[in-house]
Chain A
Amino acid sequence: MGGHLRLLMQVAFRNLFTSKINLLIGGIIFFGTLLVVVGGALLDSMDDAMSRSIIGSVAGHLQVYSDESKDNLSLYGDWSGEPDLTVLDDFSRLKPVLEKHPNVKTVVPMGTSGAMITSGNTVDLTLARLRDLYKQRAQKGESPALREGIDSVKAHVQQMVALMEQQKDKSRELLSDAAVDPQETEALARARSDAFWNGFEQDPFGSLEFLENRIAPQLPDGDLLDLRYVGTDLDAFQKSFDRMEIVDGQRVPQGKRGMLMSKFFYENFLKLKSALRLDNIKQERDVNHKLIAEDPQLQRWVKENQTQTREILFQLDPIKARIATERLQKALGSQEASLEKLLSAFFTTTDENFDERYQRFYQDLAPLLELYRLRMGDPITITAFTRSGYVQSVNMRVYGTYQFKGLEKSAMAGLINLMDLMSFRDLYGYLTADRKAEIADLQKGSGLREVSRADAEESLFGEGSGNTLVADATPGLIEDSKPFEGGMGALRREDLAARVYSQDEIEKGVALSAAVILKDPEKLQQTLQELKQAGTDAGMKLRVVSWQTAAGFMGQFVLLAKMVLYFAVFIIFVVAIVIINNAMMMATLQRVREVGTMRAIGAQRSFVLSMVLVETVVLGLVFGAGGALLGSGIMAVLNSAGIPAGNEALYFFFSGPRLHPTLSAGNLLAAFVIVLVVSAISTLYPAFLATRVSPLQAMQTDE
């Protein structure tokens, strides 16, 4: 038997390079293996990158939430807004139940919700700053620093009023006199007068009210911003989710209230619009290779930058406005005195001057401007409609910005901001038993009767309603001098911002879901089932879902992307199989004469079959190994150099600006097995045919 095999091997190796057809087949196998190795490894790397992006950002491996919820959890939001979830009353009761499972590494409490950030216009904001300074003065007395601050903001307000009057004059040229509100003109004239500013200090609050009520409303309202956030135990979150990284600022100190804003959100919604447009143009030019001369979107941005200079003009106080004018005059070699015209000329960018203007903007103008509406460390006011219907606002310090590695450019992931769980609970407004009782008492005290909407008119006004339309009121005195209970004054606000919460306080309370990180992600499905059971055993109705389900649309997108990739690789495989199969058929049929001769000199059919098979396998092994070797080489190069994501769509697939694909032993083995099995199977039938050939027939065949 051993001799037999040796003989077969000898034949196989002898034939390996002598027959031209074998070289061709070898080449095909070589190429096929290369494709399978590289394609498979790339696919795995992308799949892995996308999955890790989502698991490592907010989803974790599993998400657990109440089974009484009306909607399904969707961490990245849905078309219809936030899903309606029933709260987990007390996270501290759920945590030990989940942590008992041997495959669970960490459990992180979470809740997603949305709110609004409102802000007044630029004048409103500046006046609010001035009001704060005067309030400080009223409380603590005047200091030189405070005086300087007040004077500087006052000068800035005066500059704004001057700008507003200029604009009013300009609009008067365009509009008829009737369209100009005389009261507005009169108010502006008063705010421009020396008499007003000379008398400012005598009654600062009265003067402020005049500016707030008569001047500020003449500008359009400030933006309303939608803010999506995940409330979580920020420390546990930062430890458990490895894709999260701080970009600007710092982490929220342990146990404190605070927010980490998404870098994407910060850039796209809080940055000075002119600067954002410059950034966008740069990105489109550099990454997507678009040109201002050709692309209408870029042209629109350039146009908007030329015309929408007010945001910049209003930001500059008199001193900064003068510096900006000088710098722009120098940059443009112009004698123009109007800053507005200079800015408009500066923002007239073309493909030729764009890079230079971009650099100049950040070098010369940006230091004079507030590039972002919010600086790191500033408080932000968030107003939410709570679940109970009451509106709740909280002040929260924004400590820094963060991003999820690999999802930097994803608009969906980029809209998630992170906040501490205590603030989240305030904004979520879960009704405690105490509050419910208080509401019930008030409702009872009203003495109102329930009237159904359908027959409201009949029961209020109808013949049988017994309604008396007009009556005398009993004169009464209304007592309103008592201070409010549980008042939320300035002291409490400061206290909240400074307070450090213990882990106990953070965990004892409401959460909407819990993210579970597993020790062994391979056992995800099994753990999912077991955790569900553990919940039932502990008397909790829990819904446990995988990260893919929890990520909602994002999860489905990953699934879809994966299917597209697998389909592409499948096509490559099919093509490879068909080619190998055909080549093998040809090769075997070519050898009918040889087979006949061997049979004539006494070779058994089984010997012939083995010979052909062994030869193919040797062929496959040798050329397959070659293909795999080259494939590994290519992967090694790609791994160290990385494949750049040429456009924004690839960012998501690559989970970052570059994909560094890795090759696993599994990829190699799979490629090898596939190539061998395919070549063996495709040889089997022609080999079988060959054995059917009778020696006579074979000998008679012409050359």
Chain B
Amino acid sequence: MSLKTLLSAAVLTTALLSAPAALALEPAAMTELLATIDDRQRNGGDYKALVYLEQKEKDKTDNVREAFVYRRDADDKLMILFSKPKTEAGKGYLRLDKNLWSYDPNVGKWERRTERERIAGTDSRRADFDESRLAEEFTPSYDGEGKLGKYTAHRMTLKAKDGMDVAYPVVKLWVDKDSSNILKREDYALSGRLMRTALYPRWKKIFSESKKADVWFPEEIRIYDEVEKANSTIILIKSVDLRPLEANLFTKAWLESKSR
């Protein structure tokens, strides 16, 4: 074997060995990326959004709703208050200390629900409306780069950390390489079965006085049910308002008072 071939073989081997290393994100970098995604969506102060929710099901008329979503990220508090149509007005969810409470003014009752609760019977879950906590809840691993339409994405598999109560224990993410925004998310059951696919085609940012930085939000989320294939849900965030909220807003009494 000549020196030349030996050299070229060595170069080739090095290139081959180092190529994945160059492409792959280190665990620390992945956690960093998740933290960035989380942090961009978090607001230092309060958060209020007007949301449109549309559910399509096989052989049924579409059912649509409008809701106010309130967040106080510092205290991990969340409230979803439905406002339209009339028959839905006043219904809501309130998350306190990891309890998800559901309220229906028709019966005046509070019920504790799980993380797997289908919000208002749609394919959406509590986490779709709440602050993003990916870095806190999951451990990532890198699956390589992939194309999604005209975008190049980091592909990652996230596994729920021990003791974390999440709706789906395994999540696959496609994160846009350029802008670090989530493009696509697949949710899996523990058995490995694909349960939902969500697409995030549009991200918006708005300047927050309290955070002194931009707060990002996915303007549109299209969720496809992978079990009942004909079902899908769209979450559309119509506008976001970052002014401070009433101090006692995240209480059962406040939600009840809205439909008194």
Residues of A near any B CB (own CB < 8 A): 118, 120, 124, 128, 181, 205, 209, 212-214, 216-217, 221, 381, 383, 385, 387-395, 431, 435-436, 438-439, 442-443, 445-446, 448, 451, 453, 456-458, 460-463, 465, 467-478, 480, 483-490, 493
Contacts and interface: CB of A to CB of B under 8 A. Distances in A.
A489 B150 CA distance: 51
Interface string B86-115: 111110000011110000111111111010
A390 B151 contact: no
B90 A221 contact: no
Contacts of A493: 106-108
B63 A389 contact: yes
A451 B48 contact: no
B232 A461 contact: no
A205 B63 contact: no
Interface string B47-82: 011101011010011111110100000000000010
Interface stretch (B16-24, B132-140, B188-196, B250-258): B250-258
Given A213-B97, A442-B52, A469-B179, A462 B121 contact: no
Closest 7 CB pairs of A and B: A461-B149, A484-B89, A389-B63, A473-B204, A460-B201, A213-B97, A478-B241
B61 A476 contact: no
Given A390-B88, A493-B108, A442 B66 contact: yes
Contact of B96 (A213, A431, A435, A438): A213
Interface residues on B, range: 35 or more
Given A473-B240, A475-B206, A489-B260, A213 B99 contact: yes
Contacts of B217: 473
A209 B149 contact: no
A389 B86 contact: no
Contacts, number: 205
Contacts of A435: 85, 87
Contact of A391 (B57, B110, B114, B120): B120
Max chain A CB contacts within 10 Å: which of B84, B106, B206, B238?
A: B106
Contacts of B89: 484-487
A472 B205 contact: yes
Contacts of A124: 112
A476 B48 CA distance: 11
8 contacts: A213-B97, A217-B99, A395-B109, A446-B238, A469-B201, A469-B203, A471-B203, A474-B239
B85 A442 contact: yes
Contacts of A485: 86, 89
A152 B234 CA distance: 48
Contacts of A445: 52
A120 B114 CA distance: 12
B64 A442 contact: yes
B181 A388 contact: no
A636 B28 CA distance: 91
B60 A469 contact: no
Max chain B CB contacts within 10 Å: which of A216, A463, A465, A483?
A: A483
B61 A465 contact: no
A213 B199 CA distance: 33
Given A446-B236, A469-B203, A120 B68 contact: no
Main DSSP-derived SS at the B contact region: strand
B243 interface: yes
Given A209-B252, A461-B149, A473-B239, A488 B88 contact: no
Contacts of A393: 104, 106-107, 109
Main DSSP-derived SS at the A contact region: mixed
A58 B68 CA distance: 45
Nearest to B214: A472
Given A456-B222, A471-B202, A446 B54 contact: yes
A32 B62 CA distance: 69
Given A470-B203, A471-B204, A489-B260, A120 B111 contact: yes
Contacts of A388: 60-61, 63
Contacts of A442: 52, 64-66, 84-85
Given A209-B252, A493-B108, A468 B202 contact: yes
B183 interface: yes
B125 to A, nearest CB: 15
Nearest to B253: A205
Contact of B232 (A120, A443, A453): A453
B104 A467 contact: no
A463 B149 contact: yes
A33 B50 CA distance: 84
B196 to A, nearest CB: 13
Given A217-B112, A394-B106, A484-B90, A453 B224 contact: yes
B259 A472 contact: no
B97 A214 contact: yes
A463 B50 CA distance: 30
A118 B112 CA distance: 10
Contacts of A465: 149-150, 201
Nearest to A127: B110
B141 interface: no
A468 B236 CA distance: 16
Interface in B199-235: 199, 201-207, 217, 219-220, 222, 224, 229, 232, 234
A461 B121 contact: no
B204 A212 contact: no
B184 interface: yes
Nearest to B207: A475
Contact of A488 (B48, B105, B204): B105
Nearest to B49: A478
A460 B109 contact: no
